[in-house]
Chain A
Amino acid sequence: MHRFHNYVINLFILLILLSGKVVLSQSQIIDSEKNFNLNVKQFNEFIDRFNYKTDFNGNPVDSVFKSKITRAKYLDLLFNKDDVRLKNADSEYIDLKNEFIKHVVDRNLLINKYSLKIIAEAKSNVKYKNNSKEISIYLNQEIESNGVKWVLLSVKADFLDVLSEDTVLLRFIPPTSNETNFISLKRVFDDSTYQHYYAYHNYSYDPLSSFLFALNTGLVKYQYVNEIVYHIIVIDGWHIQVKEFNRNTDNSGWLINNIVKTNLDPNECFEQIINN
């Protein structure tokens, strides 16, 4: 009888442990699903949430959702909460974030997902002379034949940054060089990294063309995209950076990594993005 009693107790403990394990694994699954629901799964979803267009499940935002989560709160959820400036309660960045949210909410500002002012920076791996290098390829969207496409805007790579500046020496091809069979061209092209000073007025070096040349002559072999950072300069006075955070938390997926207040117009802002 005593042995039976022990058996029942052991069985009871075992059942409790097992049920605990089942409950735990179920809650883990539910947690994971909750995470994935909150996860901003695509950049497109980021814009829809930014515009207060869709809820966590991708359904249209309705009055019930609005009564629970304001647009300001919803925008706040789109910031990367692991940002050290937010974790360390950096008042300057928190004030900037709050000012930005207020600016967007008060004016009911929206991001047009086909805007030219959304620039994707595809940080990519390439092989340059058989060495691995990371470069940035900038793209934006164009509308053609009523359809949308992404187009190459520019490329930034250390190895494409080949020209130097010199404001002291006046460089030019003399006016009578034509009569001497342009012998001076040898000197021009030997003037390493300064040849652009001999080009026409307003000439500007084009890294994208150089990159295409390097690809087609075997100097560079393209591999793959490491990471995408979106630069959104749709909202006047603000530069928003969005990237993907791959982690198993509620605050994951495509999130605002940085916001910068700027006085530059979109073209100047773009120049700053690709030159920084």
Chain B
Amino acid sequence: MNSRLTTIFFIISLFFYTVCFSQTKTAVTSKQAKLVSEISLSDQDIAVFKEQTKQKVEEFQQHIVTLGSKDEPAEKRNLAEREALKLFYKGAQMEISSVLSDGSVRKMARPMEKYLARLKSLPYTQVVIKFYDIAYIREFTKGPDGKYYSTATIIQEFTGFSGDDIIYRDVTKKEVEIIIDLVEDPFFNEKRWKLFLGDIKATETRNA
């Protein structure tokens, strides 16, 4: 009889312990969830902006292909340069890390305008960019200025041709800053969220 009572008491204690413990864990988790929800967009917004991020990044890469290919008409290349710049937030920079033959790394940062102008002057008749289908986009986080920030990672193989000859090829990992800002839409005369590209860090991937 005594042992049966002890067993029942043990089961009841275990039940209460489990309930209390899980409540403590839930409390901690919901506190964190509240913080995250305060500083992040909703899941629906994230899905929409993630899709937009992919489109904008692809658009930018397409412009690079056009303005880097000397076989394209000058007018088309100039248009690609202007359209590419429109994708960016004012003041965006491109930082490029290149691995030198001695294994050291050289870094060079340029304003996006200068980067694009320089790319246009490179001696490629044709540029081919091969994408690896594994872009990573982190969740959007709100900054103290009310804008939302994210970073997209893309990995691409860049090949520059002169005629049929490959004169440059590299595999580069690019981290692209994404900024969502509330901007005035003159057409609708109201403020709307708009997605811009920001600073880009491009790193040449090393061989093992």
* A interface with B by C-beta (< 8 Å): 32-33, 36-37, 41-42, 44-45, 57-58, 112, 114, 143-149, 224, 226, 246-249
Contacts and interface: CB of A to CB of B under 8 A. Distances in A.
A37 B133 CA distance: 9
A232 B146 CA distance: 27
A148 B143 contact: yes
Given A58-B137, A148-B143, A148-B144, 6 more contacts: A41-B136, A146-B142, A148-B141, A149-B144, A226-B107, A247-B206
A147 B207 CA distance: 39
A122 to B, nearest CB: 13
Contact of A249 (B134, B138, B141, B208): B208
Interface residues of B, number: 33
A246 B146 contact: no
B143 A45 contact: no
Interface string B191-208: 000000000000101111
Interface of B: 32, 35-36, 38-39, 95, 105, 107, 109, 132-134, 136-139, 141-146, 151, 153, 155, 171, 173, 175, 203, 205-208
6 contacts: A32-B171, A146-B39, A224-B95, A248-B205, A248-B206, A249-B208
B107 to A, nearest CB: 5
A41 B142 contact: no
Contacts of A143: 35, 39
- Which among B38, B138, B139, B145 has the highest number of chain A CB atoms within 10 Å? B138
Contacts of B137: 58
A43 to B, nearest CB: 9
A145 B175 CA distance: 27
B39 A147 contact: yes
A253 to B, nearest CB: 9
A235 to B, nearest CB: 14
Contacts of B153: 41-42
A112 B32 contact: yes
Given A112-B32, A248-B208, A147 B143 contact: yes
- Which among B35, B39, B134, B207 has the highest number of chain A CB atoms within 10 Å? B134
Contacts, number: 70
A42 B207 contact: no
A231 to B, nearest CB: 20
A42 B143 contact: no
B207 A248 contact: yes
Contact of B206 (A37, A42, A246): A246
A33 B132 contact: yes
B207 A247 contact: yes
Contacts of B141: 147-148
- Which among B38, B107, B205 has the highest number of chain A CB atoms within 10 Å? B205
A147 B147 CA distance: 9
B90 to A, nearest CB: 19
Given A33-B132, A248-B206, A44 B138 contact: yes
- Which among A41, A143, A148, A224 has the highest number of chain B CB atoms within 10 Å? A41
Contact of A147 (B32, B36, B134, B144): B144
A147 B146 contact: yes
A88 to B, nearest CB: 19
Contact of A33 (B109, B133, B139): B133
